[in-house]
Amino acid sequence: MGMTFAEKIFARKTGRQAVKAGEIVFCKPDRILMHDNAAAITDKVLKDLTEFGLADPEQVVIVLDHTVPAVDEKTATGHKRIREFVQKYGIKRFFDIGTGVCHQVMVEKRLVLPGMVVVGSDSHTCSYGAVNAFATGIDRTEAAALLLTGETWFKVPESIRIFLKGRLQELVTAKDLILTIIGKIGADGADYCSVEFWGDVGHLTLDDRFTIANMGVEMGAKNAVFPVDEITKGFLGAIGIERKEWQDVWADGDAVYRQELTFEMDKVVPVVATPHKVDNCKPAGELKDVEVQQCLIGTCTNGRASDFGLAAEIIGKRKVSPKTRLLLLPASKSELEKALDAGDIQTLVEAGGVLLPPGCGPCLGAHQGVLAPGERCISTANRNFRGRMGCRDAEIYLASPATVAASALTGRITDPREVM
C-alpha cells in the first residue's frame, strides 16, 4: 500500500521502509526556527546549555521580526539577549531586525529545501510546505528542549488530499482560494492532519503556494504541502540552489487519506473572512456596507512584491479614501526592494500608503497599527481573532491584497472587480 507525503518523509527520516499514520516517531528536524521569542526560549535552558551544550548550532535559525525595531525597554532587552546568545553559541543563521518575517526569510535565504523536516516556535512555520518541506509549529518549551537534544517526537499525521482544478480568474487570488477552502473545511477541519495539494497547482506561483501553505494552520493542519514541479525548480534555481542539494518527496497514488476534497479554482470569487473567525467567509460583494478605518497589505501571508504589484495595479494614480488609512508591511527586505524596483511602493505611498519596516508589525497587536475600540481593519494577514490587533473591541476582516487595495480606495469593503 502506498504512503502519503507525511508517511514517506518520516520513513526517510527514521531510515525505515514504511511508517503509518498514528505512529509516534523520533527524528532530528533539519531546522529549528525561533524569533523574538528566542529570549524566553534560551532563558528556559541557560544552565542546561552550560552543562550539556547546544546540540547543533547549524540546526538553529533565529530571525528578529515580531517587535522590530524594539517597542520598549523590555523588547529591546530581549533582542539584546538574543544577540548575545547568538554570539556565544556561534549561531551563523541569525537575521537581525529589518531582514523580514522569519517565514519569508527561511525560504528566501535558502534555509528550507524540498524534503526537509522543519520545526519553528511560530504557528505559521507551515508556510514552507510551499517548497515541499514538512514544516510545522511547536511551542517555546519544545524549542528549548530541541536546543539541548536536537531531536523531538512526531505523531505521523493522517492526511487530507485537496485537488485543485482549473485556474483562478483575474483579480481572484490564492488568498481567496485558501479562505474559500478554510470556509468550507472549518477552523478545525484539518486538525492534526497533513494537507496535500494536488491537481492544477502548475497555475499557482510560488508566492501563491506560500500564501496557501501559510494558512494551513488556520484550518488546524499540522502542515500543508505542494509537490515539486517546474515552478518550484525555477524558484530554487533563481536563489542559487543546485539540484543535488535536495531530494523532494511526494505521496504515492494509492496512499490512504482521511478525506479527499476538490476545489474548482475558476469558481472562486473574492472572499473576506469576517470577525472573529477565519472560517467565517463571505463574498466581498456582500459586505459593501462595511466601512473600514484601516487597510493592511503585508505580513508573511501577503507581503511579497507580487502582492504590492497587484495592489498598485488596482490603485494606480488614485488616492486612498480619506475615511481610511493604508498600511504597507513588506514580508522581507528583499521583497521590499523588488517592490521598490517595480515602482509599486512609490505608487502606493503616493496614494497615501504608510510604509512599515519589514516584519510582523500590527499582525500580532504589539505595536504599529494597533486598532482603537470600534474600529475595523481589512487585512491580508492570516488571523482575525478578537483582540488580535491589540484591541478587544475592534474588528478584523481578512482578504486578498486586491480586495484590501480596492477597499482602501472606497473606505468600505469592496470587491476589486468593481473598481477596475
Partner 1 sequence: MRVWFYGDDINTDMLFPGKYTYTCSKPEEIKPHLLEDLDPEFAKAVQPGDIIIAGRNFGCGSSREQPVVGLKAVGVAAVIAKSFARIFYRAGINQGLLLIEAPDAVEFYQPGMAVELDAAAGIIRIGEREFSFPKPPPEILGIVEAGGLLEFTRKRLRERAVKR
Task: Name which of 86 and 389 has its Cβ closer to partner 1.
Answer: 389
Could you say which residues in the range 266-285 bind partner 1, by CB under 8 A? 277
In whole angstroms, give the CA distance from residue 346 to residue 344: 5
Could you say which residues in the range 138-197 bind partner 1, by CB under 8 A? 138-142, 144-145, 148-149, 153, 187-188, 191-192
Sign of the Cα torsion 108, 111, 116, 122 reads negative
In whole angstroms, give the CA distance from residue 416 to residue 420: 7
- Partnered with residue 160 across adjacent β-strands are 195, 259
Task: Name which of 188 and 245 has its Cβ closer to partner 1.
Answer: 188
Taking CB under 8 A as the rule, does residue 374 contact partner 1?
no
Residue range at the interface with partner 1 (CB under 8 A); choices 114-122, 159-167, 230-238, 266-274: 114-122
- Burial pattern 142-175, b for ≥16 Cβ within 10 A else e, equals ebbbbbbebebebebbbbbbbebeeebeebbbbb
Q: Which three cell numbers stand for residue 33?
A: 526556527
In whole angstroms, give the CA distance from residue 59 to residue 142: 14
In whole angstroms, give the CA distance from residue 66 to residue 37: 9
Task: Name which of 233 and 277 has its Cβ closer to partner 1.
Answer: 277
Q: Which of 32, 45, 331, 419 binds partner 1 (CB under 8 A)?
A: 45
Taking CB under 8 A as the rule, does residue 383 contact partner 1?
yes
Residue range at the interface with partner 1 (CB under 8 A); choices 32-40, 202-210, 252-260, 312-320: 32-40
Task: Name which of 283 and 387 has its Cβ closer to partner 1.
Answer: 387
We find the least distance from the C-beta atom of residue 365 to partner 1, in angstroms, to be: 4
Task: Name which of 189 and 353 has its Cβ closer to partner 1.
Answer: 189
Task: Name which of 98 and 390 has its Cβ closer to partner 1.
Answer: 390
Give strand ranges (E) for 16-173: 24-27, 31-34, 60-63, 94-95, 117-120, 134-137, 152-155, 159-165
User: Is residue 178 a contact partner of residue 129, using CB atoms and an 8 Å limit?
Assistant: no
Question: Amino acid identity of 347?
Answer: T
We find the least distance from the C-beta atom of residue 387 to partner 1, in angstroms, to be: 4
Size of the site for partner 1 (CB under 8 A): 53
Q: From the CA atom positions of the chain, what is the Rg in Å?
A: 21
Residue range at the interface with partner 1 (CB under 8 A); choices 10-18, 107-115, 136-144, 242-250: 136-144
Taking CB under 8 A as the rule, does residue 123 contact partner 1?
yes
Contacts with 407 (C-beta within 8 Å, 6 or more apart), sequence order: 292, 295, 324, 378, 399, 413, 414
User: Is residue 61 a contact partner of residue 33, using CB atoms and an 8 Å limit?
Assistant: yes
Q: Which three cell numbers stand for residue 348?
A: 502606493
Give Cα 50 to chain centroid, integer Å: 34
Taking CB under 8 A as the rule, does residue 259 contact partner 1?
no
Strands 376-379 and 395-398: parallel
Task: Name which of 187 and 261 has its Cβ closer to partner 1.
Answer: 187
Task: Name which of 21 and 145 has its Cβ closer to partner 1.
Answer: 145
User: Is residue 124 a contact partner of residue 300, using CB atoms and an 8 Å limit?
Assistant: yes
Interaction mask 212-251, partner 1, x per CB under 8 A = -----x--x-x-----------------------------
Could you say which residues in the range 294-313 bind partner 1, by CB under 8 A? none
Task: Name which of 79 and 412 has its Cβ closer to partner 1.
Answer: 79
Q: Which of 98, 137, 352, 411 binds partner 1 (CB under 8 A)?
A: 137
Strands 376-379 and 259-264: unpaired
The DSSP call for residue 196 is E
Taking CB under 8 A as the rule, does residue 370 contact partner 1?
yes
- Partnered with residue 412 across adjacent β-strands are 291
We find the least distance from the C-beta atom of residue 2 to partner 1, in angstroms, to be: 24
Task: Name which of 37 and 169 has its Cβ closer to partner 1.
Answer: 37
Taking CB under 8 A as the rule, does residue 387 contact partner 1?
yes
| Nearest by Cα to 107 from 332, 337, 356 | 332
Give Cα 415 to chain centroid, integer Å: 24
- Partnered with residue 153 across adjacent β-strands are 26
Give the interface with partner 1 as residue ranges (CB under 8 A): 24, 36-37, 39-40, 43-45, 48, 51-52, 66-67, 71-72, 74-75, 78, 120-123, 125, 137-142, 144-145, 148-149, 153, 187-188, 191-192, 217, 220, 222, 277, 364-366, 370, 383, 385-388, 390, 392
